[in-house]
Each structure stands twice: as structure tokens, then as C-alpha cells.
Structure 1
Amino acid sequence: MKKIITVIGSYNHDMVFQTPYFPKPGETITARSFEMFSGGKGANQAVAASRLGGDVFFITKVGNDEFGSTSKEKFSKDSIRTNYILQDTSLPSGTAIIMVNDEGQNCIVITPGANDNLLPRDIDACCLAIEKANFVLIQLEIPYRTVEHALELSHNMKKKIILNPAPTVPLEDHVYQKLHLITPNQTEASLLTGIEVENEQSASMAADVFLKKGVQNVIITLGEKGAYFKNSEEQFLVPIQEVEVKDTTGAGDIFNGALVVALSEGKNWRQAVEFANLASSIGVSRLGAQSSAPYRNEISM
């Protein structure tokens, strides 16, 4: 039987503009193209995990609009368990405006909408999805007090908790002590530890800060350099496959979704990071966040 993964997090409606470059203040430019996708860090990670073979519950709150009303149907097509996708009666769905330049880099503005109304009591109402899970994956695009409550509930149920600390906010020590794994990128790791993370050596120093705070395992993604892993027993850097980058939106979400699938299948840490790197490489070669998430048959390991 598959181990169950419960993802707790945000759902957004993404509006993506392809632009030659990012405009300066006061400047108007013409986009090369415009497309709309489903997004949000939580939703992206849930979709990535499910497409790669995970058995996924998703706890989120969508808005009182067309995007929210059709979200369950969309997630069902990706074989996600939709029992705990809640709908707000008054707020719209979260919305993101994303600009992607010719180098594949992105610039994002988000209005949280219903994500800001995913409350601790909603997590209590969805506790069965946590109770059934082996792994719980959480990000920070929902209210911090809700994240804290979800962590406490998951920890009390002795679940393996993975925190993707994005977008970054200061974290109390009691949060770190509940984590099986933390997965910041190099910018997030720098903000959380005060160490400028640029390479394997500085990533190791930042990882030590997390480990001393009580995290059991640390993975710091380093963009084109790959991903660095460290715990009390081993440490290594896994390079990433070079691809033509079209859009980095959602790359970290695909990495996290793939990683938790690999762990749920019993892969060791190196194998899990290699699997996540491969999935992320495929993602950045495509446009969009959820739309770029690969399927299991696209990964040869």
C-alpha cells in the first residue's frame, strides 16, 4: 500500500505574462504572450506529488469564484484526494500575476484571497487527512498561525513533517524542533540563518544552523548548482541536469513534491534528491507552474 502524503497550503490562479525583460518603474512594455494556469505553492506541490505517483490529500481553501468552483474537478483529474479542499463563501481565490523574461526568470505579485482565511479551525476539521498521512508537506503561503497549528497537530500525531519555508518569514525555535526536513532555497536559507549561501561550503554552514535548532534533515536548493543535503550522518551535493530554461516558476514546488514522493517510496536521501532534481529540471524547461509538473513516466529512475 502507498504511503499517504498530505499537502497543506495555498491555491492561486496564475496569470502569466511572457515579457522580453522586467519593466522599470513607470515603464509600459508589451508581453509576448499571456496564459492562465492554476498555481499556488501548496497546489503546485500537491499536483507534482500526485503526477509522480504519490497518494495525495490536499488541504486548502479556494475562493467564491469560478476558479474555486472548478478546482476540485481539476485536482481530481490529477488523482488528488479532494475531500479537504474548502471553499470560502465571500473571498475570491488567491491570484498571482507572474512575469517571465527571456532568461526564464520570474517576477511575481500575489494577492492571497481565500488563502488568508485558511484558519486553525479548518485544519482541525481536516485532521483525518493528517491522521492518515505518513508525510505532511507544508509551505508558508497561508497564515503563519495556521502553519503553527498544523505543525503542532502533525507533530503530536508523530508524522514526518517537511517544511518548505517559502515565502520566508522568521521561524521560532519550536517550529524547527518539529521538522523531519526543511527545504529552503539559497535565498531563504540565507534569510533564516544569517549566512550568505552561495555554494556548497556556505550551504553546509547554513545547514548546521538548522540542525542545531533541532531540524533532523536539511536540503538547500542552489539553483543551477543543484541541491545540498545534510544531516547528522552524511552530507552531499547533487548536481542538476542542464536544460534550456523557459520558466523557473514552480521549480521549487516540483522539487518538493517529487522529493516527498521519493521518500514515501523508501528511497534513500541521495536517491530522493536525484529524483527531485530530475523532476525540477523538466519543470523549468516548460511554461507555467502546475502545467510544467512532469509525470512519472518522464523520469527514468
Structure 2
Amino acid sequence: MDRLTLLSLGSINADFQVRVDEPPGCRETLLAHDLCRLSGGKASNTAYLAARFGHRSILLGRVGDDELAEQALGPLRDAGVEVDGVGRAAGRSTGVSMIMVPPDAKKQIVLATEANDCWDDAATDAMLACIDGCETPACLILDCEIPARVVRRAIQTAARKGIPTVLDPSFPDRFENDLLSTLQAITPNRSEAEGLVGRSIESMEEAANAARELQQAGAPIVCIKLSDGGCVLAVENETLHIPPGDVEPVDTTGAGDAFTGVFAIALLEGRDPREAAAWGVAAANLAVTGYGSQPSYQTREQVEQMAGGLLARATVVDG
């Protein structure tokens, strides 16, 4: 397999994760246990996966000039991710994600974006120069947990360079829909898809309609990640449901990032979008079987083994 290049641009955080034995919000103060301090953030997680799958992985983003920066970057550096493209925001904290995992494994997150939102002209220009100077073939994996103006310029620069972009539109209100036609693919979850199309999505058919609407607005490939771990894929003239695997969830933290990262990797490797989506579903499903995001990510061999069975069970969805 050729070693390809994946650029991950977006949020870089220090994660503080705990387990709680009651649902968040049921009382003012909850007892927690199993505190973990981890590297996290959407860009960090996809960069970690790119390195784990054997490719050159370049992380782009912003951290603070504090001690939390090493918590965010150290594990990535150890995994082989190139972090020289990560800038430091003077006088600001590194982004912090505070994560509670209740008994049903469905995490709740409070995100303080901090340095992720601190992009001056020099930082933006340095990031764009990295994209423009990147060896191809390459792919840009991007999220919207950084300023919208930075997202726009990165997508436009990648398009001029001929680098395909796979976008995770979190937060959807930071994404401008006129950019859809410059993407290769977009991977919202259900709530993000609702934000993009401006209406609620309550059923598989409504998810399929939303996927087709985003496709008609310009995105060649649309994957809507479903809460059960499956996805709805709109590609060419076909809309498919790829079902989840049979797994026992422990913690859903980072599962959506696993989908986007592995999906982008599979597309860059030349796999058909249907197969790539099955790889994404498999990666997300395997991710929920462990605690934390990056520590729970599985190997290429495990993902490939599960993906084949999922693709065989895929069905066409009528809107």
C-alpha cells in the first residue's frame, strides 16, 4: 500500500473524561470516577487514525501556550503524527473538552474552544501554505470547530491544489452551504444535518431526503451518521442505509470522528464510496467498545473485517 498524506485541520483539545453512574442533569452535583486525561478534538482524532492506518499524517490547528498543549499533542507525536503545523496562541488556553460518560455510554460534552478560535492572519497564512505545499495525492479532513473564515479559506486552497476535502460540519452554523460543491464529501450526524437543511429529521426516510438535498446542493457524497452507529449514504443516484454492527457500547466518545477519519482514508486509498462508508461505520462501531476516543480506535485489519459484513447488509432507502 502506498503511503498517502492526510491533513487534519480543526479542533485540538485536552480531554478530561469521567464516568458517572446517573444521567447528567438529574441532580446539581454528580459523583464521578475513572478520570482520564487524554488528547482529543476532531482534528486530533482523525490525525491519530491516519497515522494508525499507516499514512503520513499532518495536524493543523491551534493550541495555547499552556501546559495543556502537551496533553493534547504528546500522544499524537508519539503515534507518528506531524504536529509542526500546530500554532500556539499567546496568552490563551488550549481547548478543553469535559466529557461525562453515563451508564448508557452516550457521552455528553462541554467544549471550551479557547485557542481553537484564535486565528490571526499569520496563523491562517501558515496553515494555507502547508496545504498548498503538501505532496499529493492527499486529502484534507476538516471540521468547523474553528472560525468559519478559516474553514472557507482552507477549503478553497485545497480545491485550487486539487486536494479533496472531507468535512465534518460540527458546528453546522459555522459552515456556509455555498462551499458544498467544493467538497468531496460531508459527514454530518443527525443533529448537524438538521442544522444544514433547516428542519428536523426523525426517520430513516427523512435522513435519506436530507442527504439527497445536500447532494443536490453540491456535495458529491453525503453520509449522515445515525445515532445507532449506522449511516445513510447518498452517492451518485443511490441512497443506501449501512446498518450498525453488533457491538456492546462502552463509550461513544470519538465515534463520529472515527467514522469521518476512516471514511476519508478509504476514499483517499481509492475505495468505492459505498465501501468507504462501510469502513467508517465499522470504525465508529469498534470505537464505542473502549473508553476514550484515541485509545479505543482499532486497527485497519479489524475495521476491514467488520466492514465487509456491514456492506453486505446495506439496503436502498426510498425517500
TM-score when normalising by structure 1: 0.93
In 2, Cα distance between equivalents of 1:171 and 1:72: 26
- Write the mapping of 1:163-178 to structure 2, written as runs, cut at 5 A: 163-169=167-173, 171-178=175-182
Moved more, 71-80 or 144-153: 71-80
Q: Could you list the runs of 5+ residues in structure 2 that have no partner in the other structure?
A: 306-319
What is the number of equivalent residue pairs in this alignment?
301
Deviates more, 1:124-133 or 1:57-66: 124-133
Aligned pairs (5 A) from 1:76-87: 76-87=77-88
Q: Given the superposition, is the C-alpha separation of residues 172 and 82 from structure 1 closer, same or farther in structure 2, using an over 3 Å criterion?
A: closer
Shift of 1:225: 5.6
Report what 1:210 is aligned to: 214
Contact 1:198-1:222 within 8 A present in 2 as well: no
Tell me: CA distance 1:291–1:120, structure 2 relative to 1, closer, same or farther (3 Å): farther
Give the equivalent residue in structure 1 for 2:20: 19
After superposition, give the CA deviation of every residue in 1:187-232 in whole Å (9 maximum; x if it has no partner).
1111211343233311221012212221111111112161111123
**1:70 positional shift:** 5.7
Counterpart of 2:236 (choices 228, 232, 236) is 232
Indicate the RMSD between aligned Cα atoms, in angstroms: 1.9
Can you list the C-alpha shifts for 1:217-269, whole angstroms capped at 9, x where unaligned?
11111121611111233321111112111111111001111111111111111
The more displaced of 171-180 and 146-155 is 171-180
Alignment CA distance shift 1:295-1:24 (3 Å): same
Of the structure 1 ranges 66-75 and 261-270, higher mean CA displacement relative to structure 2 is found in 66-75
Q: 1:91-102 to 2 correspondence within 5 Å?
A: 91-102=92-103
Select 1:253's aligned residue among 254, 257, 262: 257
Residue 139 of structure 1: aligned partner: 143
Tell which deviates more after alignment, 212-221 or 60-69: 60-69
Looking at both structures, which has the greater relative contact order when contacts are Cα pairs under 8 Å and sequence separation is at least 6? 1
Counterpart CA distance in 2 for 1:289 and 1:155 is 30
Alignment of 1:82-161 (within 5 A): 82-119=83-120, 121-131=122-132, 132=134, 133=136, 134-161=138-165
Measured in 1, the distance between the counterparts of 2:124 and 2:262 equals 24
1:119–1:153 Cα change, 3 Å: farther
CA distance in 1, matches of 2:89, 2:31: 35
In structure 2, C-alpha distance between the alignment counterparts of 1:220 and 1:258, rounded to whole Å: 15
How far the C-alpha of 1:53 sits from its partner, in A, is 2.6
CA contact (8 A) 1:120 1:145 kept: no
Shift of 1:118: 3.1
Query: Please, which moves more after superposition, 135-144 or 125-134?
Result: 125-134
Instruction: Name whichever of 162-171 and 214-223 sits farther off.
Output: 162-171
Moved more, 188-197 or 22-31: 22-31
Deviation, 1:184, is 0.4
In terms of mean alpha carbon deviation, does 63-72 or 280-289 score higher? 63-72
In the alignment, the residues of structure 2 paired with residue 198 and residue 206 of structure 1 have an alpha-carbon distance, to the nearest angstrom, of 11
- Contact 2:38–2:71 under 8 Å retained in 1: no
> Equivalents in 2 of 1:124, 1:215: separation in Å?
26
Which residue type is aligned with residue 198 of structure 1? E
Q: TM-score, normalised to structure 2's length?
A: 0.88
What is aligned with 1:51? Answer: 52
Q: Which residues of structure 1 form unaligned runs of 5+?
A: none
SS at match of 1:249: coil
Amino acid at match of 1:64: D
Q: Distance in 1 between matches of 2:86 and 2:248?
A: 35
Which residue matches 2:314? none
Query: Distance in 2 between the 1:173 and 1:188 partners?
Result: 13
Q: Is this contact kept in 1: 2:16–2:38, CA < 8 A?
A: yes
